[in-house]
Every structure is written in structure tokens, then in C-alpha cells.
A = this chain, B = another copy of it.
């Protein structure tokens, strides 16, 4: 049975054929469960080549990666500062609050990017037991709005955080797209800027399941194996997550997939702008936010599914994936153009 492609989410896309083959290749005989196997060791080695010294923990999904990262960085009386568009705030059904005990101090931002004043305004009541004590800044790279922090912005936030006794967490569900959009390496973007913990996404960029928690601040790794197990995120047949990451990282598939989806988003942006459509956020990764005539939405969705972001403004979100084709975009834009003209 053939499923068609759309622009709803990179979570809707399937698994890259090379990843599928890696899964198949790993499927022989028995391996020690829970991660004490050679696939896991190999995958960790690839991570260390990309990031330098770090501790690695594979988990099932992005919510798990974010929540367990935050748990490792906090005590229950802490607060986490984030944007009000952050996945941890909007899309995780208060799992962060429930499993860390912490408060999320969310900030409105125009573009999903947190800035120093957004952090600074929460830094009061320090040492005052009545207040939740700020401990973590959590940012998303690339953001939920399709924008990306520059390396200077990341370094500035990390430096400011550390100077104020805070740790920096990066939700990197789309970290590959952020690197792909830049001219720098993963370690330049993450390790060198001073990020403490990174949720490294795989699922949205061609994996079947599996995310990695990259702990760059070694103190935070101390009890992580218990946190992961108790957090219900330890896979028994770990080799199948590890084999995916092995293939994903060993020669740049992660970057290739992300470059592709980014370039498709760029193409989509350019083409819809030619139709006079207003694109509402900078396209710095694989997402395009745009305002389209409300009467075109239902019909357009029928052929290429996507989500309305802000019904009042008729703003929609289109996400490109590792498998989006130029032809998909041509057909989509043609359809949209026709719908606009027809109305």
C-alpha cells in the first residue's frame, strides 16, 4: 500500500532506506540487551567523533530525551526558562513538570528564539526559598518556528547562563537542520559554545525511532543510567536504536538528510513568495510558516496534508522532510496557485 507525502510534519515521513537496511543487517543472532553490545559501542564512538568527549544515552523519543535531560540538570525546586513555543512547554503534556517537579518559566518571543533579557527577567529571588530557583535555560535548535540560533547567539546564552549559575539545555529534535543551515560543525555549534546537555534528534530526520542524550557536562551524567531506566526510556533490544545511529552518523547521512529537507523548505518558500504569499518567519531550517487565503486551506490539505498554525491569522506551517521531492513542491505550489486564482 502506498502512502502519499505531505507537509504536515517530518514525523509523518518514513525511514530512510539506509536506516532500514541497517536495521535488517543488525538482525542476526543474540545481543546482550539494554545496551551492552557492539552496535551501541560503535554508535557512541561516532557521537564522540562529532562532539568530542561526552556521555551518551539512547532513548525512545523526543519527549523522553527532553524530560530526562531536564531531570539530570535539576532538583525538584528548580525552574526552567524557555520560550512559550518550546516543545517542552507546548507539546509534552506537562511531562517536564510532572517528572522533574520544576516550574517552566515561559517567555513570549517573536520567532521562537530566547534572548538574554528573556532569561534575565527571571533571575530574582535567588536563594529565597519561596521562589522556584532558576537552574536551566532550555532552547530549541532549530526552533519550533523554523528559525535557528547563530553560533554567537548560542555562545552568548551559554556564557550568560553559566555566569548566572544556570545550565544550558538544547532541544535538538532538529539539530541536524540547524547544522545543515550553518557553515559550522556540530562540535563548533554545541560543544564549543558551552551547551551542557543536548537532546539529539533522529526520528524527524529519517530514523524509525530513537533519540540520543548527549551530555557534555560530565557531572550531569553521574546517575543518568538510573534516570533513564526509571524514566521508562531504556530499550531492551537496544541494538536496534544503536544500529540506526551508527548508520546515521558514520558518514554523514544525518547532515545529508537535513540539507535536503532544508533546501526543499527554501525552495517552497521561494515558490510561494512568487505567488505573493507572505512567509512569516525566516526559513532557516526545514519549516515554512506562511499566511494563505483561508478558503484555500481545506482543499489544499486534501492533497497534501499540513497543519494550520494560527487560525485567526490564517497562518499555516509546512514542514519538509528527508524524502520531500522537488516535484512534491512543484505540484503543491501549482495547486495552491490554482486555488488562489480560482477564488
Q: Give Cα A27 to B101, complex, Å.
A: 37
Contact call B77/A94, Cβ cutoff below 8 A:
yes
For window 1-33 of A, CB contacts with B under 8 Å fall at 1-6, 8-9, 11-15, 17, 20, 23-24, 26-33
Q: Give Cα A99 to B256, complex, Å.
A: 39
Q: Interface stretch among A128-136, A162-170, A270-278, A282-290?
A: A128-136
Q: Is A76 in contact with chain B by the CB < 8 A criterion?
A: yes
Q: Is A213 in contact with chain B by the CB < 8 A criterion?
A: no
Q: Which residues of B contact A78 (CB under 8 A)?
A: 94
Contact call A94/B90, Cβ cutoff below 8 A:
no
A20: contacting residue among B23, B79, B203, CB under 8 A: B23
Contact call B6/A30, Cβ cutoff below 8 A:
yes
Q: Interface stretch among A43-51, A144-152, A225-233, A257-265?
A: A225-233
Q: Give Cα A1 to B319, complex, Å.
A: 37
Contact call A29/B5, Cβ cutoff below 8 A:
yes
Chain B residue with minimal CB distance to A5? B30
What's the least CB distance linking A242 to chain B, in Å?
12
Given known A-B contacts A93-B77, A232-B67, A237-B209, A2 and B29 have beta carbons under 8 A apart: yes
Q: Chain A 74-109, CB within 8 Å of chain B: the 1/0 string?
A: 011111000000000111111101110111100000
Q: Interface stretch among A56-64, A111-119, A181-189, A330-338?
A: A56-64
Q: Which residues of B contact A63 (CB under 8 A)?
A: 229, 232, 234
Q: Is A160 in contact with chain B by the CB < 8 A criterion?
A: no
Q: Is A223 in contact with chain B by the CB < 8 A criterion?
A: yes
Q: Give Cα A225 to B79, complex, Å.
A: 16
Q: Which residues of B contact A93 (CB under 8 A)?
A: 77, 129-132, 226, 229-230
A130: contacting residue among B92, B101, B208, B209, CB under 8 A: B92
What's the least CB distance linking A235 to chain B, in Å?
6
Q: Is A240 in contact with chain B by the CB < 8 A criterion?
A: yes
**20 additional A-B residue pairs with CB within 8 Å, beyond A14-B237, A94-B103, A95-B229:** A3-B30, A4-B29, A4-B30, A14-B27, A14-B28, A15-B27, A17-B27, A20-B24, A24-B24, A32-B305, A60-B209, A62-B236, A75-B226, A76-B98, A77-B230, A90-B131, A93-B131, A99-B99, A103-B104, A208-B237
20 chain-A/chain-B pairs, Cβ below 8 angstroms: A2-B29, A4-B29, A5-B30, A9-B33, A11-B237, A12-B31, A13-B30, A14-B29, A60-B60, A60-B61, A60-B209, A60-B232, A76-B230, A77-B223, A77-B227, A79-B94, A93-B132, A98-B230, A129-B228, A133-B226
Nearest 6 pairs between A and B by C-beta?
A3-B29, A98-B101, A11-B33, A77-B226, A11-B236, A94-B132
What residues make up the interface of A, taking CB atoms closer than 8 Å to B? 1-6, 8-9, 11-15, 17, 20, 23-24, 26-34, 38, 60-64, 67, 75-79, 89-95, 97-99, 101-104, 129-133, 203-204, 208-209, 223, 225-237, 240, 305, 321, 323
